[in-house]
Structure formats: C-alpha cells, structure tokens
Amino acid sequence: MNRKRRIHDGIAGAVAAGGSALGYWVDPVWLLVPGLLGLTLVQSAFTGFCPVYFILDRTCGTE
C-alpha cells in the first residue's frame, strides 16, 4: 500500500472514529461528521474526486 493511501485511510478512520465517539459521549449532532464522510467516500467512488487526495497531491506530489 502506498504512502498516500495509508495517510488517506488514517484520516478517514480518525474522522469516522472521532465523530462517532463525539456523537456517543457529547451530542448526537456529531454523528453528522461520519455521515458526511461516508457521503464523500461514495461521491468519490463515482466522480474520482477526493478532497483528501486533492490536498495530498498538492503537498506530497505524485507518487
């Protein structure tokens, strides 16, 4: 697995876990965060555009 994919998976996992934890312990409104993440991942599957990869391409270059 290449470096960008590991970074992307780590960011997506952290956002999903963090949003779920905040939704459980703080306020259910935080569950919108992993929900929006899921929608972005589905949109990315159809369009090929992922905001995280866009940022990684600009900062890390292409690999």
Residue 1 has pLDDT above 60, yes or no: no
**Chain-centre distance of CA 32, in angstroms?**
13
Write down the pTM of the prediction: 0.85
User: pLDDT at position 14, please?
Assistant: 97
**Chain-centre distance of CA 11, in angstroms?**
5
Q: What is the pLDDT of residues 18-54, one digit of tens each?
A: 999 999 999 999 999 999 999 999 999 999 999 998 9
User: pLDDT at position 35, please?
Assistant: 96
User: pLDDT at position 22, please?
Assistant: 98
What is the phi/psi pair of residue 49, to 5°? -100, 125
**Chain-centre distance of CA 31, in angstroms?**
14
